[in-house]
Amino acid sequence: MSTGLPAQGHVLVVEDEPRLAAVLGDYLAAAGYTHHWVADGNAALPAFHAQRPDLVLLDLMLPGRDGVEICRDLRRLGAVPVIMVTARVEEVDRLLGLEIGADDYVCKPFSPREVVARVGAVLRRHRAANARPSAAPLPAQAALLVVDATGRASVRGRELDLTPVEFRLLAVLHGALGRAFSRDQLLGRIYDDRRVVTDRTIDSHIKNLRRKLAEAGGSEDWIKSIYSVGYRMEL
């Protein structure tokens, strides 16, 4: 359904009951959100990577992987807000605790109107938190890797010894966590004159950058190779 207005946000709905998913989808659309629905826990992470949602509405009990496992994985991948949907009230403390780290929860049976209100509240909170000035204290996850405007980068406070090109490459990837860049796009952003380099140049810079991240206590795996596309950074 299109309202002609810009979407309020894109929501990934992970829910194995089609009727519930359909009702949620209708209410989300009426409130101006776009959404994508998957019914199986195993489909949640692939859909997350493909859809890049602003928020995940995650049922706890699912076929395939359950909501707890999925939420932990989402937490490792970055700061996407997660609202857990559960019929087990006694689980709530654990779901919201550090171990699992959902941003909010709704209990089944729920009112779809309430779910949509929660979606709006969590998104507003999340966007406000991300809009904070860079001088403010960073959340623990963001503090893993800090790339500042003066050409310095550090892993958990340990400064990286980077060449100017490696720094620019890191700044581009880190400035858009989770976004895939082709080699060509990366070349365009890190070199003023691209005639002097080839696509393979990027690969060797990525290799060095990965090694330096790992040596400073980070992980080579923070920079993912995406087959036939290029690279993406995830912390």
Binding site for Ca ion (CB under 5 A): 16, 59, 61
Cβ 85 to Ca ion shortest distance, Å: 8
- Distance, CA of 20 to CA of 95 (rounded, Å): 21
Give dist(CA 230, CA 224) in Å, integer.
Answer: 8
Residue (74 or 85) nearer to Ca ion, CB: 85
Helix 67-77 / helix 44-51 crossing angle, nearest 10 deg: 30
Min dist CB 66 to Ca ion, Å, is 9
The minimum distance between CB 87 and Ca ion, in angstroms, equals 8
Residue with Cβ nearer Ca ion (115 or 235): 115
Separation between Cα atoms, residue 30 and residue 25, nearest integer Å: 9
Residue 205 · residue 211 · CB < 8 Å: no
Query: Which residues sit opposite 36 in a β-bridge?
Result: 12
Identify which of residues 43 and 180 has a Cβ nearer to Ca ion in the complex.
43
Instruction: Supply the minimum distance, in Å, between the C-beta of residue 15 and Ca ion.
Output: 7
Residue whose CB is nearest to Ca ion in the complex, by number: 61
How many Å separate Cα 100 from the centre of its chain? 16
C-beta of 109 vs 164, nearer to Ca ion: 109
Smallest gap from residue 59 Cβ to Ca ion (A): 4
CA distances to 17, 27, 83 from 23, rounded to whole Å, are: 10, 6, 17
Residue closer to Ca ion (CB basis): 110 or 167: 110
Cα–Cα nearest to 71, from 170, 60, 92, 131: 60
Residue 142 carries which side chain, given as an amino acid letter?
Answer: A
